[in-house]
Structure 1
Amino acid sequence: MPSVDSFSTYWLAEFIRLREAHWGPIEDASEVRRARAEGHTFTQRILLRATLLGKRESLDLLVGRWARGARIALLGLLIAAVLAGAGAALGALGDGTRSVNLLLALVAILGLHGLTFLIWLLSFGMTGHGSWLGQLWLWLTQKLARGPDAALVPRALVDVLGRNGALRWILSSVSHGLWTGAFLTLLLTLLGVLSARRYGFNWETTLLSADTFVQLTTAIGWLPEKLGFAMPSADMVRASNGLHALPESVQALWSSWLIGCVVVYGLLPRLLSLLLSLFMSRRYLAAITLDENLPGYANLRERLQPSSEKIGVDSPAGLRPNTRIRPHTGAPEQTAKSLIVGIELPPDEPWPPQTLARTIQDAGNIDTREQRMALLDRLQEYPPEKLLIVCDPRQTPDRGTISMLTDLAGLARQTCVLLRLDPCAERDARLAAWQLRLGAAGFEPGQIYARHADAFAWLEERADE
């Protein structure tokens, strides 16, 4: 059974739910039978059905294509964040021809970060996620999605994450990750530029006193100083008013103070928030559940987990009573016997076509939808070792018939098709049409018989061993 524990399976199930709500139910008789046979709980059966439908309809490829586009969009935003970080550092320091106003430089570097970080913290007490960079990334991925089905992929992602509480932390991880990348680049740019150029630092004011700047500088630099960054003394702060020439040692102290503020108040909060968001994202994704009462899921309950299920088929129409096919368990000599079945043969055709060996079981001539479902359910539980399907090639090999043949072939170890052709001028043309359709459905040429004797020789091989 395909794995139903991964987040991508929940995502795919929600995508299929939304798709069926928009465009109508998908034909899923074969997938429902397999889900009922292999899934234990209702949730497992929903997820298994989604996995099987996703592979059959190539919807999993659509989800994968969107995920690749989302990673490309995230990479583009990361490159933009890196460039923005370098630009912020160069803009705050200038070209070195003028002294750097420390407070203005600090506001230029940390102002937007501080505002958005505060909004993110306050968002925990309000509605919304507070991660505008994460929301920008999600918006970009939605714009990149093309086609009605592709547009449902990000919506399904948001719905699954939102219902399970993981959306906030996923978007926060994106936002903090971009900010962390920006601050790393900003810090490296600061170190590079301060190492290559001579800068002068000062504070400028018309209204505030020197003591105000001493207190402000001391308060801001207290935590960076505890982490090892240099802190200018009160006399150095008073002297840095732009009216005095300062030694290079003082400028180095101001450089250390500025870098320390960027690390402590910019990089570290974002890095710690990123680690927290990643941890919480992983935790919520590991505990993800499926709401079985949602429209689309609840409608599947009677089909995937009916209130009463038949243990076996007593005597369905078109099948002989007392016919039971042994499941594939135990030693080879205990495996299920060979089986022959007719598909929509004319009622005047003799059935079975010949006297059957005791090792061959007869499933009858299947003509109605109820008979088809009964046979498929029976073979799901008791798959035969060999299956011979007899068809009338005078009928058109429509999609329904070919689908029935492929479903039956998937439930037997070996399957062959006998096309009962009468000698006539149209024999070759009819045979070619059926072979073409069967080949497109996955049947090999060796699985298709036009001669009655050859087909029964293959079917009876096990009886002769």
Structure 2
Amino acid sequence: MSGPANLISSARRAHTPSISNGSSFNSYWTAEFVRLREAHWGPLEDSREVRQARTQGTGFTQKVLLRAALLAKREGIEDTLGHWRRIARLTLVAMLLVTLLAGAAASQGALGDGSRPVNLLLALAALLGLHAITFVLWLFSFALQGRHAGTWLGQAWLWLTKKLARGPDSALAPRALSGLLDRNGSLRWVLAATSHGLWTVALLSAITGLVALLSARRYGFNWETTLLSADTFVSMTQALGWLPGLLGFTMPDETIVRLSNGLHVLPESAQTLWSSWLLGCVVVYGLIPRLACFALCFVIARRKIAATTLDTSLPGYADLRERLQPSSEKMGVDAPAGDDYQASIRKHGAPGLKDGQTGQCLAAGLELPADLPWPPRPLLPPAHDLGLIDTGAQRKSLLDLLFTHPPRKLLIACDRRQTPDRGAIGFIAEAAGHSAGTRILLLPPGGEHTDPRSAAWVQRLVTAGIAASDIHTDPTTAIAWLTMDGTHD
């Protein structure tokens, strides 16, 4: 009975969040969780994640899934979903234990303690009554609007999991799961598989209890009725016993049925026949339909989940298209950074800077005019000149290079005569996040940071995370730092 839990858990991805063309259901669930979270709490800061998704993704859907996986790992969403899955499994196990006890109790209640004869109709109703009602309602749900009718056990499982799974954003996990399952048409099948599975366990427990009690005690069976005639009861018992008889269960004949009205003493063989009749009815009309429906719903749910796709027209996904798969690159200078915006360096733990490895020493000029020669001094090994970065496409190419090959040192030269704009500060902050060490050279050389524009550069760079001591106006000092051995002064 681990099947229903596996329907929503699927295979766990590797620790590194890479999304293949055959994306797992878990990646879609993660993307839906991130979408709902951003809809409730606002967009997450995702410049690095977007850049990585654009670099590694093969299509818009794959880029959305990769961005969501990266954000989930960074924001702890993976832990939230993992916690919810664990609670879901524990809740299912608890419900399985309850259904086992309920099945055993049903068999005990139907047969009693053996001190008085067992009314066959009442015993059958106690064992199969609620099962029959919920099963018929589930069948009717295909023709009615109540798509989840008859799946109360499955709905109870989700409800209990929601109540027990406490923690940050825990309420978004079932909402994301239900919404995703409902859109691909698998929610009703997951709930139905869970419900039929639990009923199967309950009926197995009831049958086991019946066999144990009938083996350990002597029971007498009869039918008692005031309104129904003996002929009616004979027809009813023979009709109900026809299918079990085909499967090998022995059925009482007409004579024994007529004599089982409580007014005659029956031989032991007659009580054995009634025991077989009762067991056969529970197996044929209870266990077999539930087991067959569980298998059917499980297979359909697995197939629908495997065919899950991302509805990129939903709000939250459609808004990402221009960022993840832009139709054109934005170039030029952005508006000056206002009080409502502040770029900041966020170290990304770039994969190129590991123990025993050294990155390159790189230098680039950011939108330098023609009157400022670049580089101002010859660059000697190990320094490498990346040239001038003037367009949005060049910025993107440089950031992609820094992401895949993180440098040990990075020197960026800026024109301090220009007002520092939002795009320039944001680019510097993101580039610095990929480098072990970053320094800024303000050109033209000479002078202190006393004029308003130089002071504005220093202020915004320091606020972004560049130390004031790492901002140079002397090219000789900056280039000496770039070419010296070691990662620090």
TM score, norm. by length of structure 2: 0.73
- Which one-letter code corresponds to 1:111 in the other structure? G
The alpha-carbon deviation at position 371 of structure 1 amounts to: 8.6
Change (3 A) 1:401 1:176: same
Matched pairs, number: 395
The alpha-carbon deviation at position 338 of structure 1 amounts to: 4.6
Q: What is the SS of the residue equivalent to 1:9?
A: helix
Are the counterparts in 2 of residues 221 and 231 from structure 1 also a CA contact under 8 Å? yes
CA distance in structure 1 between the aligned counterparts of 2:46 and 2:126, rounded to whole angstroms: 59
Which of 8, 13, 19 lines up with 1:3 in the alignment?
19
Counterpart of 2:62 in structure 1 is: 44
Counterpart of 1:119 in structure 2 is: 137
Q: What is the SS of the residue equivalent to 1:218?
A: helix
CA distance in structure 2 between the aligned counterparts of 1:159 and 1:364, rounded to whole angstroms: 50
Counterpart of 1:301 in structure 2 is: 321
1:224-243 matches, within 5 Å, as 224-243=244-263
Q: Which segment is superposed worse, 250-259 or 352-361? A: 352-361
Counterpart of 1:254 in structure 2 is: 274
The alpha-carbon deviation at position 211 of structure 1 amounts to: 1.3
The alpha-carbon deviation at position 451 of structure 1 amounts to: 11
Counterpart of 1:284 in structure 2 is: 304
Are the counterparts in 2 of residues 339 and 384 from structure 1 also a CA contact under 8 Å? no
> What stretches of structure 1 of length at least 5 have no aligned partner?
317-335, 344-349, 393-399, 410-414, 421-433, 439-449, 461-465
The alpha-carbon deviation at position 146 of structure 1 amounts to: 2.7
The alpha-carbon deviation at position 101 of structure 1 amounts to: 0.4
Are the counterparts in 2 of residues 30 and 407 from structure 1 also a CA contact under 8 Å? no
Change (3 A) 1:155 1:280: same
Counterpart of 1:397 in structure 2 is: none
- Which one-letter code corresponds to 1:22 in the other structure? H
Are the counterparts in 2 of residues 31 and 52 from structure 1 also a CA contact under 8 Å? yes
Change (3 A) 1:281 1:220: same
CA distance in structure 2 between the aligned counterparts of 1:234 and 1:261, rounded to whole angstroms: 17
1:10-159 matches, within 5 Å, as 10-127=28-145, 128-130=147-149, 131-147=151-167, 149-159=169-179
CA distance in structure 2 between the aligned counterparts of 1:202 and 1:284, rounded to whole angstroms: 49
TM score, norm. by length of structure 1: 0.76
The alpha-carbon deviation at position 309 of structure 1 amounts to: 4.5
C-alpha offsets along residues 277-309 of structure 1, whole Å, 9 cap, x if unaligned? 110011101110111110111111111111224
CA distance in structure 1 between the aligned counterparts of 2:208 and 2:56, rounded to whole angstroms: 55
Indicate the structure with greater helix content. Answer: 1
Q: Does 1:163 align with 2:190?
A: no
How high is the sequence identity, in percent, across the aligned residues?
54
Q: What is the SS of the residue equivalent to 1:124?
A: coil
Q: What is the SS of the residue equivalent to 1:389?
A: strand
Counterpart of 1:456 in structure 2 is: 483
- Which one-letter code corresponds to 2:231 in the other structure? D
Q: Which segment is superposed worse, 297-306 or 353-362? A: 353-362
CA distance in structure 2 between the aligned counterparts of 1:373 and 1:72, rounded to whole angstroms: 51
1:298-337 matches, within 5 Å, as 298-309=318-329
> What stretches of structure 2 of length at least 5 have no aligned partner?
1-16, 335-358, 367-372, 414-425, 442-461, 467-476
Are the counterparts in 2 of residues 214 and 237 from structure 1 also a CA contact under 8 Å? yes
The alpha-carbon deviation at position 139 of structure 1 amounts to: 1.1
Cα RMSD (Å) of the superposition? 3.5
Counterpart of 1:189 in structure 2 is: 209
